[in-house]
Structure 1
Amino acid sequence: MTALAPYACQPDQSRGRLYAEKLSTFRSPWQRDRDRIIHSSAFRRLKHKTQVFVEHDGEAWRGDYFRTRLTHTIEVAQVARTIAGALGLNTDLAETVALAHDLGHPPFGHTGEDALAALMEPYGGFDHNAQALRIVTRLERHYADYDGLNLTWESLEGIAKHNGPVTGPLPYALAEVNATWDLELHSNASAEAQVAAVADDVAYNHHDLHDGLRAELFTEAELADLPVIGPAFAEVDALYPGLDPTRRRYEALRRVFGVMVEDVIAVAQNRLAGLQPRHVDEIRAMDGPIIRFSKPLYQNIKAIKAFLFQRMYRAPSVVLERESVTRMVNDLFPHYLAHPESMPEQWHQSARALDDETERARLVLDYVSGMTDRYAIAEHQRLFGR
């Protein structure tokens, strides 16, 4: 096994678990965390939660190729391992945070999150990162000795802070976890968690281009003037004149993918060589993230994101679908809150035992946010017949 850099998270220096457990004889703490996440119910449900396109969108032959939360998560984990390995970081921890980073997403992507955030505003709000922590600390109930997955402190820290320090009023779910075990929300996360965050950006920028092209929301010709993407297509055309359209697309976009990954690694290597951190706590104490894109590439990615925002995320067909699924969430949540008997018996019994409306709302949120797209659609059809 390759030695870890001094600024990496060291397995023998983990801060441990909230509920003490015997160490594994053949797995590191973060290999165990990774395995627990993969075997969780919430992870399996990512298969039928979507990114941009709702599961039933479009023709079946085309929709089957769109990314789901699960395939996106696997791609993020792959990128995270690559970057972490190149930097001498702990690849197991980077992979663990990547695999857990989207567990708290509700059905219907960011549209579902926006709808639930508005509905939950009187009850402490909703944030998918905070909900992921609630899932891994409370809602997964498979073990005899505790609720949740009993992940290590470093994994919980990474889920909470992979996008940076958390300031201001905390979502209730994050506040509950942090009150039980201080995650030092004011500081940066480990370099491994920062890698998972950048890997998320790399993965979705790459695959949203694929999905947008497949959905015919824009064409390769319309990408020609974009930075990074245009030169990638030009390079492929020079090397493989007359290449068939599908291969041309994949060859170009894999070059875009490579540019992003190589840029992150090069920037981090230069910064780490200059700063010479000797411990992960020095990474946490820095003024900003150590893992990031270079300024020129960051500006180029902003231009790509602006294009995707207009042509994909705000495409008329996508906006129409967003309006439809927002109505579904706005129907389902108040209905379950007023009629908890509409939920499965186990959930109904739990709701019946709660006198406080806020606690009932949070229980309903757990139920609705855990739904897959297809289950939410089926439930709406069952309850409202439309």
Structure 2
Amino acid sequence: MRPAKYRDEDLEQHALHRRVSDDGQRSGFEHDVDRILYSTQWRALAGKSQVVASAELGAYHTRLTHSMKVAQLGRRMAERLERRYGGPNPALVEAACMAHDIGHPPFGHAGETALRATMDELRRAEGSLDSFEGNAQTLRVLTFLAAHKYPGHRGLHLTRACLDASIKYPWVRAPLAEDPARHAKWGVYAADREAFAWVRAGRTGTGVPVEEQVMDWADDVTYACHDVEDFYRTGLIPLASLFPPEGCAGGDTERETRRFLDYVEAKRARDQEPFDRVAALQLMADIGKRLQVPAPYSGRHADAVAVNRRTADLIAYFTRDIDLEVSGPAAIRCGARLIIPQERRAACDLLKELVWCYVIDRPALATQQHGKRRIVSELLRWSHDAPELLPPDRAEELELHGDRLRVAADHVASLTEDQAVALHHRLSGVGLGALSDNMWL
């Protein structure tokens, strides 16, 4: 089945160079959803951080539960848009949302920065820019590292449209002096240029399809709403002080609001980004109309109901009134732009800053992240220096292309956090484990 407004080439499968078989039961994009769902890389996301370590006590989101909610929200937005415009296809958006974080390493942002910094150091002697980036690793997982059912072909054999929608930064890394933004974030490794060229099918420029735009907004909204919910429940984000019921604001609200906005202003200044304090205060007032938190979370049933209601209201606020600007009747995939009211984007960005202010930049988490970065960096160095320690699939990969550092990065990035800690203990001699331990299966 070919979904409406999609061409045959959109449904061509990577590496197989054919359209997905039409069995009358699933469209090509529904096949994409199922292949991602059944991959070992998708399952491993349950053991990777969203913000705090996946083994941390408490009902925190993992990278898997985050991705599941991104997929659900992305599909619902696509369904509403499809009813109005004939696209984008909901299953295609769902697949892209499921895949968007599949390349992320253990320990989230800390693990990613450690892999990148260590690779940058080890690559410097080669004069190479090739390093680690979670989004570029996603393309590598989907097209090379993951396994499907066809012998002799690597990757999940997803459709061209699905892979295209999964690439947030469609370029290779640029030199720092040439383009700082593309040096910091990129979506394609040099080793994966051929796969990327196939995905883009001759398209040039850095435009992304509308399905990626929906995925990106679903990701932002999920981060802003559910991560803030997590840390309100555990007492780390003082929503009751920041967003009290109307008429209940007092000195605590003023002090906490000033503290938070001072943090955001300083952070934006470091990043050389503009900050309008008056506009931020208005955004907080608008957000407060939907939150209105009377007290810290106590764990009572009524509190749980209230949290769920507020989260639902926020999600509705962020996803209501979205629109498409379509350039032509047959151009829904590459000729449409997602229109989101500017104040919704700004409010979403401000909510995300709550997590940075009260959680990510918290000293207790900073000390944890120091340890996480050390684990990841040392595992990368040890795997690079002693390739005989690699598991069988990575040893096979080394035979294919011979790049020891890339293979070592692929290995470390694939580990869950429990696996990374156990392997680090084993290789450092802190805890040797047992001969029968299955570290990678």
TM-score range (shorter-chain normalised) is: 0.7 to 0.9
User: How many Å separate the matches in 1 of 2:139 and 2:305?
Assistant: 40
Partner of residue 235, structure 2: 216
Partner of residue 334, structure 1: 381
Question: C-alpha displacement at 1:196, in angstroms?
Answer: 1.1
Question: C-alpha displacement at 1:276, in angstroms?
Answer: 5.6
Q: Residue 70 and residue 25 in structure 1: after superposition, are their counterparts in 2 closer, same or farther (change >3 A)?
A: same
Question: C-alpha displacement at 1:28, in angstroms?
Answer: 0.9
Q: Is the 8 A contact 1:354 1:360 kept in 2?
A: no
User: How many Å separate the matches in 1 of 2:293 and 2:147?
Assistant: 52
1:1-386 counterparts in 2 under 5 A?
A: 9-10=5-6, 14-18=10-14, 19=16, 20=18, 23-26=21-24, 27-57=26-56, 60=57, 62=58, 65-88=59-82, 89=87, 90-121=89-120, 122=123, 124-142=130-148, 143-160=150-167, 163=168, 165-166=170-171, 169=174, 170-183=188-201, 184=203, 186-224=205-243, 226-234=284-292, 244-262=302-320, 266-268=321-323, 271-272=324-325, 275=326, 277-280=328-331, 284-285=334-335, 290-348=337-395, 350-351=397-398, 353=399, 356=402, 359-386=403-430
Q: Residue 354 and residue 86 in structure 1: after superposition, are their counterparts in 2 closer, same or farther (change >3 A)?
A: closer
Q: Secondary structure at the match of 1:291?
A: strand
**TM-score normalised by length of structure 2:** 0.74
User: How many Å separate the matches in 1 of 2:172 and 2:140?
Assistant: 19
Letter in 1 for 2:331: V
Worse overlay, 293-302 or 326-335: 293-302
User: How many Å separate the matches in 2 of 1:42 and 1:324?
Assistant: 24
User: How many Å separate the matches in 2 of 1:114 and 1:280?
Assistant: 38
User: How many Å separate the matches in 2 of 1:334 and 1:235?
Assistant: 47
User: How many Å separate the matches in 1 of 2:233 and 2:380?
Assistant: 33
Q: Residue 145 and residue 335 in structure 1: after superposition, are their counterparts in 2 closer, same or farther (change >3 A)?
A: closer
Q: Residue 259 and residue 350 in structure 1: after superposition, are their counterparts in 2 closer, same or farther (change >3 A)?
A: closer
| Number of residue pairs the alignment of both structures matches | 357
Q: Is the 8 A contact 2:173 2:189 kept in 1?
A: no
**TM-score normalised by length of structure 1:** 0.83
Question: C-alpha displacement at 1:173, in angstroms?
Answer: 4.6
Question: C-alpha displacement at 1:17, in angstroms?
Answer: 2.1
List per-residue Cα deviations over 1:233-282 (Å, max 9, x = no partner): 33999xxxx993332222222211211111xxx231xx53xx5631236x
- Identical counterparts, % of pairs: 28
Worse overlay, 75-84 or 312-321: 312-321
Q: Is the 8 A contact 1:187 1:284 kept in 2?
A: no
Q: Residue 258 and residue 350 in structure 1: after superposition, are their counterparts in 2 closer, same or farther (change >3 A)?
A: closer
User: How many Å separate the matches in 2 of 1:335 and 1:244?
Assistant: 51
Q: Is the 8 A contact 1:232 1:252 kept in 2?
A: yes
Q: Residue 111 and residue 206 in structure 1: after superposition, are their counterparts in 2 closer, same or farther (change >3 A)?
A: same
Letter in 2 for 1:277: G
User: How many Å separate the matches in 1 of 2:405 and 2:358?
Assistant: 36
Q: Secondary structure at the match of 1:231?
A: helix
User: How many Å separate the matches in 2 of 1:179 and 1:12?
Assistant: 17
Letter in 1 for 2:351: I
Letter in 1 for 2:307: R
Q: Is the 8 A contact 2:225 2:314 kept in 1?
A: yes
User: How many Å separate the matches in 2 of 1:229 and 1:126?
Assistant: 36
Question: C-alpha displacement at 1:102, in angstroms?
Answer: 0.8
Question: C-alpha displacement at 1:175, in angstroms?
Answer: 2.4
User: How many Å separate the matches in 2 of 1:229 and 1:117?
Assistant: 36
User: How many Å separate the matches in 2 of 1:22 and 1:303?
Assistant: 42
Instruction: Choose between structure 1 and 2 for higher RCO, CA contacts under 8 A separated by at least 6 residues.
Output: 1
User: How many Å separate the matches in 2 of 1:167 and 1:343?
Assistant: 27
Q: Is the 8 A contact 1:101 1:159 kept in 2?
A: yes
Q: Which runs of 5+ in 2 are unaligned?
A: 175-187, 244-256, 258-283, 431-441
Q: Which runs of 5+ in 1 are unaligned?
A: none
Question: C-alpha displacement at 1:285, in angstroms?
Answer: 4.9
User: How many Å separate the matches in 1 of 2:9 and 2:19?
Assistant: 15
List per-residue Cα deviations over 1:89-140 (Å, max 9, x = no partner): 2101011101111110000111111111112222611121211111111112
User: How many Å separate the matches in 2 of 1:10 and 1:147?
Assistant: 25
List per-residue Cα deviations over 1:199-220 (Å, max 9, x = no partner): 1111111111111113321223
